[in-house]
């Protein structure tokens, strides 16, 4: 088994992947819980089912109830059926939920409002631990799914556990409810076959098996919303990266008071600096006899966490410890704020010191200070720091805590964007690209975040805001709107941009549009002016950049470059899956753009054409910055590029 998969599986079984919680707690039967502890095949099967549910974004309350563990390797290993964004746990709940959503839909239509029928989604998963998959294996997933949708007696043949039968009855409850209202029942169906081999080239027989199954299932359901996905080792690794990784820890020797009633669950007080340093896990720095704090505990932190230069609190903490004044830290420091899913106390709050077990904790304020505490661990005797512990699973509450805790400087809406799970998934796509590749880019998710010396050039660093603006300018074809009112773009996040089903290669390709523009602007004596990385880091001249005039048409430039470099720039259809990570064609399309634009000579030729097209469309006597804000300029530029 590949080490990356084995490590993910080990974390899964021990309950260390945050999005899943502890899988052992969701297994009802003692026999299955024991299998999850001891049976590698069952562990792998369960792990893959959990990954598929998370990757396909299926709303389900208890992941373990989707694990069906087929009678053989050719039986279902996982089934999940939902309606809209509602999870259902029984046939009765399915019927009630479907009725409520259908009534809501019909009432909206009666009132003349736009409304769509609630969508039933079905996910069927089959897992094979082997490194090879045969055509018959894939055939069986398709044929078993067809039987599941068609014949009740098939369940007896399959000899399923209780979960398979329950899912069948949930499916029938949805179907019968739609039919009772005289409405078409057209569920969206995803089949996912998973094995741990690595693809060298596409297996034509397996592709034919998928197409055959798709044909039969689409005929049976009467529509084309049926997808057949084959996951190999690469896709498993990608799915592991999409799952959040939780860290648990124990804060030892804290003195705390409960937060006032009505304000929320949690505690406020102080704790030994040595305890905070000890509870943060460490990662060894490759090739060095050093460690650094594990970044997982800072993923909800919107600030940079790799230095103290611009953080007065962190600098003050460093000086206090360096000068032997650790006893003054509690007076001079704002403190550290934890957000945790659960906090269990050992000891009596009223009596004095307690130990607090924190489950899936995050440090949302005090990241730089945490680094200093670990760096100066030998100087922490007698040093205490104020702490606040907030116990919540609510995203809204977390956002409020982050905004309230980070008072050193303004936290902007774009800072908060960095905390989005979709943006984190994009970062993982960037990180997965080997740094030695010619088309490597670096994704700065948080403001001020630093990178290692491996960054080739500051121009190769992109941010969420830059990718958001470039997406709207190019794929949405609205560069004029970005020039006019970029603050409105945040409304598109997770609705049309940074969606869970978008392939990461899309954003890498957009990054290369930006990078190409920066290098072109530099060659023309312009400043690209998009708040790129600190010029003092990773190359670049600050003095030259400060005196160069800003290029007023950068969003129109990337639009023109997109028109030149993509084979079908106006043919992006979300409903047809042109951006979906499920389609290999999406990856090939956008990876080819990365390949072309990472070739500096080819990129310069295309960039020159884009710049010339903008210059040719610009009217004399009016500023370019005013012209690029108009839709008419976009249309004129589109025609100009095509003619060229």
The residue written with tokens 């796509």 in the block is 429
Average pLDDT estimate for 346-364: 86
Do residues 576 and 553 lie in contact, with contact meaning Cβ atoms separated by under 8 Å?
no
Q: Distance (Å, rounded) from C-alpha 143 to C-alpha 335?
A: 59
More confident residue, 426 or 612: 612
Residues forming beta bridges with residue 82, ordered by sequence position: 121
419 φ, ψ (degrees, to nearest 5): -85, -5
Do residues 314 and 369 lie in contact, with contact meaning Cβ atoms separated by under 8 Å?
yes
Parallel/antiparallel/unpaired status of strands 461-462 and 442-443: parallel
Q: How confident is the model at residue 252 (pLDDT cuts 50, 70, 90)?
A: very high
What angle separates helix 464-474 from helix 421-431, to the nearest 10 degrees? 90
Helix (H) / strand (E) element for 155: namely: helix 153-158
Q: Give me 312's structure tokens.
A: 């007065």
Q: Distance (Å, rounded) from C-alpha 511 to C-alpha 431?
A: 13
How many helices (H) and strands (E) the chain has is answered by 25, 15
409-434 burial: b if 16+ Cβ within 10 Å, else e: eebeebbebbbbbbbbbbbebbeebe
Query: What is the structure's pLDDT at 447?
Result: 66
Q: Is the pLDDT of residue 31 over 70?
A: no
Residues forming beta bridges with residue 195, ordered by sequence position: 128
Q: Is 587 left (phi over 0), alpha (psi -120 to 50) or beta?
A: alpha
Q: How confident is the model at residue 407 (pLDDT cuts 50, 70, 90)?
A: very low
Q: Is the pLDDT of residue 273 over 60?
A: yes
Closest CA to 193 of 326, 290, 77: 77
Residues forming beta bridges with residue 338, ordered by sequence position: 363, 389
Query: What is the structure's pLDDT at 26?
Result: 63
Q: Distance (Å, rounded) from C-alpha 281 to C-alpha 15?
A: 16
Highest mean pLDDT among 22-26, 377-381, 570-574: 377-381
Q: Distance (Å, rounded) from C-alpha 463 to C-alpha 263?
A: 35
Average pLDDT estimate for 228-251: 79
Average pLDDT estimate for 325-344: 82
Average pLDDT estimate for 104-133: 85
Q: Is the pLDDT of residue 411 over 50?
A: no
Closest CA to 342 of 267, 400, 402, 280: 267
Average pLDDT estimate for 248-274: 87
Sheet holding 362-365, edge to edge: 342-346, 354-359, 249-258, 266-272, 384-391, 336-340, 362-365
Closest CA to 336 of 423, 416, 277, 250: 277
Q: Is 221 helix (H, G, I), strand (E, B) or coil?
A: helix
Residues forming beta bridges with residue 124, ordered by sequence position: 79, 191
Q: Is the pLDDT of residue 534 over 50?
A: no
Q: Distance (Å, rounded) from C-alpha 499 to C-alpha 3?
A: 29
Q: How confident is the model at residue 406 (pLDDT cuts 50, 70, 90)?
A: low
Query: What is the structure's pLDDT at 309?
Result: 47
Q: Give me 297's structure tokens.
A: 């505990």
DSSP one-letter code for 640: H
Closest CA to 253 of 283, 235, 278: 278
Average pLDDT estimate for 132-146: 78
Query: What is the structure's pLDDT at 581?
Result: 66
Average pLDDT estimate for 588-617: 93
Q: Distance (Å, rounded) from C-alpha 358 to C-alpha 137?
A: 44
Rg of the chain, C-alpha, whole Å: 27
Q: Distance (Å, rounded) from C-alpha 168 to C-alpha 148?
A: 7
Query: What is the structure's pLDDT at 304?
Result: 46
Query: What is the structure's pLDDT at 46?
Result: 85
Q: How confident is the model at residue 398 (pLDDT cuts 50, 70, 90)?
A: low
Query: What is the structure's pLDDT at 246?
Result: 67
DSSP one-letter code for 43: H
484 φ, ψ (degrees, to nearest 5): -80, -45
Average pLDDT estimate for 187-210: 72
Q: How confident is the model at residue 409 (pLDDT cuts 50, 70, 90)?
A: very low
What whole-number percentage of the chain has pLDDT above 70?
A: 76
Query: What is the structure's pLDDT at 410?
Result: 46
Highest mean pLDDT among 113-127, 130-144, 224-238: 113-127
Average pLDDT estimate for 367-395: 83
Q: Work out the mean pLDDT of the chain and round it to a whole number.
A: 79
Residue 319's alpha-carbon distances to 311, 322, 329, 333, in angstroms, are 12, 5, 10, 12
Q: Is 354 helix (H, G, I), strand (E, B) or coil?
A: strand
Query: What is the structure's pLDDT at 544?
Result: 45
pLDDT digits (tens, 9 = 90+) for 36-48: 767 787 888 888 8
Do residues 150 and 220 lie in contact, with contact meaning Cβ atoms separated by under 8 Å?
yes
Closest CA to 125 of 165, 79, 171, 188: 79
Q: Distance (Å, rounded) from C-alpha 401 to C-alpha 115?
A: 36
DSSP one-letter code for 296: G
Q: Distance (Å, rounded) from C-alpha 527 to C-alpha 23?
A: 52
Q: Exposed, middle or buried by CB within 10 Å (0-12, 13-18, 19+), for 364?
A: buried
Q: Is the pLDDT of residue 448 over 70?
A: no
Q: Exposed, middle or buried by CB within 10 Å (0-12, 13-18, 19+), for 315?
A: middle
For the full predicted model, state whether its pTM sits above 0.85.
no
Q: Distance (Å, rounded) from C-alpha 546 to C-alpha 449?
A: 22
For the beta carbon of residue 28, count every other beta carbon within 10 angstroms: 12
Query: What is the structure's pLDDT at 69?
Result: 73
Closest CA to 503 of 398, 433, 425, 432: 425
Average pLDDT estimate for 384-388: 90
Closest CA to 194 of 81, 80, 73, 26: 73
pLDDT digits (tens, 9 = 90+) for 55-90: 888 888 777 778 887 555 556 888 889 988 888 888
The per-residue DSSP string of 478-514 comes to: -HHHHHH-GGGGGGGBTTTBS-TTB-HHHHHHHHHHH
Residue 325's alpha-carbon distances to 232, 384, 442, 528, in angstroms, are 56, 11, 39, 47
Closest CA to 643 of 617, 618, 605: 617
Query: What is the structure's pLDDT at 68?
Result: 81
Average pLDDT estimate for 187-202: 76
Least confident range from 100-109, 449-458, 620-629: namely 449-458
Q: How confident is the model at residue 444 (pLDDT cuts 50, 70, 90)?
A: confident
In this structure, the chain runs to a length of 644
Q: Distance (Å, rounded) from C-alpha 85 to C-alpha 198?
A: 33
Closest CA to 476 of 490, 462, 495, 496: 496
Parallel/antiparallel/unpaired status of strands 384-391 and 336-340: parallel
């Amino acid at each position: 088994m590949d080490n990356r998969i084995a490590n993910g599986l080990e974390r899964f079984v021990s309950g260390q992947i945050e999005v899943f919680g502890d899988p052992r707690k969701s297994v009802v039967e003692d026999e299955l819980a024991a299998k999850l502890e001891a049976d590698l095949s069952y562990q792998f099967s369960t792990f893959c089912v959990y990954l598929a549910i998370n990757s396909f974004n299926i709303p389900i309350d208890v992941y373990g109830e989707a694990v069906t563990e087929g009678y053989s390797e050719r039986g279902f290993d996982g089934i999940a059926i939902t309606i809209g964004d509602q999870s259902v746990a029984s046939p009765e709940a399915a019927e009630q939920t479907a009725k409520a959503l259908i009534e809501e839909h019909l009432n909206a239509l009666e009132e003349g409002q736009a409304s769509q029928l609630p969508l039933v989604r079905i996910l069927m998963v089959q897992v094979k631990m082997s490194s090879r998959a045969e055509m018959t294996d894939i055939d069986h997933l398709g044929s078993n799914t067809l039987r599941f949708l068609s014949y009740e007696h098939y369940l007896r043949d399959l000899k399923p556990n209780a979960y398979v039968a329950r899912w069948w009855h949930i499916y029938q409850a949805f179907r019968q409810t739609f039919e009772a209202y005289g409405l078409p029942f057209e569920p969206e169906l995803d089949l996912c076959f998973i094995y741990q081999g690595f693809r060298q080239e596409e297996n034509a027989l397996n592709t034919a098996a998928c197409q055959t199954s798709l044909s039969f299932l689409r005929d049976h359901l009467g529509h084309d919303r049926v997808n057949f996905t084959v996951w190999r080792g690469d896709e498993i690794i990608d799915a592991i990266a999409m799952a959040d990784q939780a860290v648990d820890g124990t804060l030892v020797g804290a003195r705390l008071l409960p937060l006032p009633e009505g304000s929320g669950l949690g505690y406020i007080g102080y704790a030994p600096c040595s305890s905070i340093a000890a509870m943060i896990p460490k990662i060894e720095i490759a090739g060095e006899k050093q460690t650094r704090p594990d970044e997982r505990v800072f993923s909800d932190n919107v600030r940079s966490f790799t230095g103290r230069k611009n953080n007065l609190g962190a600098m003050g903490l460093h000086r206090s410890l360096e000068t032997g004044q650790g006893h003054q830290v509690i007076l001079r420091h704002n403190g550290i704020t934890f957000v945790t899913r659960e906090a269990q106390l050992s000891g009596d709050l009223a009596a004095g010191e307690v130990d607090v077990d924190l489950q899936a904790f995050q440090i949302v304020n005090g990241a730089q200070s945490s680094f200093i505490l670990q760096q100066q661990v030998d100087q922490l005797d007698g040093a205490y720091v104020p702490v606040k512990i907030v116990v919540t699973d609510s995203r809204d509450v977390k956002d409020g805590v982050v905004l309230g805790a980070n008072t050193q400087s303004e936290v902007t809406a774009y800072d908060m964007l960095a905390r989005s799970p979709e943006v984190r998934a994009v970062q993982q796509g960037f990180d997965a690209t080997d740094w030695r590749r010619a088309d490597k880019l670096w994704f700065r998710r948080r403001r001020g975040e630093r990178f290692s010396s491996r960054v080739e050039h500051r121009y190769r660093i992109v941010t969420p805001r830059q990718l958001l603006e470039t997406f709207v300018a190019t794929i949405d074809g609205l560069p004029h709107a970005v020039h006019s009112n970029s603050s409105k773009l945040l409304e598109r996040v997770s609705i049309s941009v940074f969606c869970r089903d978008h392939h990461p290669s899309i954003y890498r390709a957009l990054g290369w549009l930006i990078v190409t523009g920066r290098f072109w602007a530099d060659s023309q004596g312009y400043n690209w002016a998009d708040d790129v990385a600190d010029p003092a880091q990773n190359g670049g001249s600050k003095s030259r950049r400060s005196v160069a005039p800003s290029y007023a048409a950068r969003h129109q430039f990337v639009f023109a470059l997109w028109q030149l470099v993509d084979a079908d720039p106006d043919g992006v259809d979300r409903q047809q899956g042109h951006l979906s990570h499920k389609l290999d064609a999406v990856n090939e399309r956008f990876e080819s753009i990365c390949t072309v634009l990472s070739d500096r000579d080819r990129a310069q030729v295309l960039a020159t054409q884009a710049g010339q097209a903008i210059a040719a469309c610009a009217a004399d006597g009016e500023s370019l910055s005013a012209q690029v804000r108009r839709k008419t300029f976009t249309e004129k530029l589109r025609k100009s590029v095509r003619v060229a």
